[in-house]
Chain A
Amino acid sequence: MIGLDIQTNGIRLIGLKKNKHQFHIECIATTDFDAQTIFVESKIKYWDTLVTILAKLVDQLKIRDRPVAIHLPVHFVKMGYLQLPLGLSDEQIKTEIYAQAKHDWQNKEDLSLDFSQQTLTHAACSEILFVTANREYLSQYIQCVCSAGLRVQVVDVDIYALIRVLQYTDGLLFEQNVQREWLQKDAHAIIYITQTIVTLVLFTWQTIISYQYWPINETEEDWLQLSDKILTCLQSFSDKEIKRLIICGHSRYISRLIESVTQVYRLPVCFPEIFAHIKPPVPIDSAADFLVACGLAMRNHYKW
């Protein structure tokens, strides 16, 4: 599968091939551009320009018609939980989700959704995690990637892609028994930094407990405020046993946040090094930029 991560500062593309429990790089490419050439207010505006850049990349790598996984940033989607009786059909579950998401989306046709069902052991009902997104924007996105010569098979959410990478680096991606107690109990926190948004995700290996995002400018003052917000947020989950804080991305003011977290909250901080776990080793300075792309490329491709 090819993972395609289109950020405001450029495109990160990686093709991974699974061999038993190890991923191998098939192709890798990065293209930088100014945010203004493609994006307007964190949204892709100039689709034609993006198609041109992407098509050039596809031709260079000779990956035309290959299946690709793309993503929407978490701030572009709505996520929620529902508890429903067991035995409902997919259509019935969708109807319930539409009813739930009615206040966010005016029209049913404006909505793209997916859900995941998990049976609760203590009750005769199932817990549904659902994700909804704007269909128009998503259709444009898919159309754009298809026009560039790739075949979209997966539209994921960036934080799920990040968690998948962390699962892989921790050796848990191919773990069969994820029901183990410590896997469900131990919480981790991710701070995912992009040029315009910083996202905090609190999760166990089984589920996302909470997430929050903040728009950010590259100023010291902004980062000071953000550090406080993140600390407050982490403290609000003091009942959770957070094992570590994982920094995905980079900023020149990140050291301030790390200092605060380690001193105040006494939380270990780590930086995932994905290319240490993928063969062959690739000497890339900004390996953190590829985390989402790698997480996407780790998706199983469908037969269709």
Chain B
Amino acid sequence: MVVINLLPWREYNRRYENKITNIILLASITLTILIVMVIHVYLSQELKKLENAVDALRQQIKKHHDLDRVVYQQKESALAFKKLTNHFENYYNGTRNLFNELEQYYPQKLCFTEIHRHQNTVRFFGYVYSMTDLADFLMRWHAIYLFTEIKIEQIDRNKEDRIQFYFKGKEKIHTDFFVSE
């Protein structure tokens, strides 16, 4: 059976449906905005936390860098000190060995008047009566192993008929005394 309603129910239904549609639309938009805002707030907080964590890590890295620098500097100074110590020890050993050798083999026909040392170069000043004695000495000298090279720099015959000489020897560097980095 047909259903009659003399009220403008179609219009009312239309208005109601529009109203409901608008409400749903508005609610959807509001909900979407709300969700976006919540997500934004959440992500902002997370980002802030991460930024704080990154800052803390940066601080730690900086601290570690500073510590590294200090350690490096200490290591460098320790190394420099050890180098210096080794250098002196090398000098000391070289000089000691040289004097030991000079003491063990006492030259009969040659006289050293001065011995200078500058870094690893040792200069020997002295005199002989003949060049043969000097050559003989240099060929037989036990301390020759302490030098890498021996170079006669000057030979002069003076008024007293003595031959004044000056030769220099380059000391062997004992690498085992140097500290490698």
Contact = CB atoms under 8 A, between A and B. Distances in A.
A99 B148 CA distance: 135
Interface string B3-21: 1111111101101100000
Majority secondary structure, B binding face: loop
B1 to A, nearest CB: 6
Interface of A: 72, 77, 90, 112-114, 116, 118, 129, 131, 133, 138, 142, 152-157, 160, 163-164, 167, 178, 203, 205-207, 299, 302-304
A304 B12 contact: yes
Given A129-B2, A205-B1, A90 B7 contact: no
A112 B6 contact: yes
A1 B4 CA distance: 16
Interface string B131-155: 0000000000000000000000000
B10 A116 contact: no
A157 B4 CA distance: 7
Nearest to A129: B2
Given A302-B13, A304-B12, A304-B16, A114 B6 contact: yes
A303 B10 CA distance: 12
Contacts of B4: 114, 116, 131, 156-157, 160
Interface string B159-181: 00000000000000000000000
Contact of A154 (B5, B10, B13, B15): B5
Contacts of B16: 302-304
Sorted nearest first, the 6 A-B pairs with minimum C-beta distance are A116-B2, A304-B16, A155-B6, A304-B12, A112-B6, A154-B5
Contacts of B3: 116, 160, 299
A163 B6 contact: no
A112 B10 CA distance: 13
Nearest to A138: B6
Contacts of A131: 4, 6
Which interface residue of B3, B5, B10 has the most chain A CB atoms within 10 A? B5
Contacts of A167: 1
A178 B10 CA distance: 24
A90 B2 contact: no
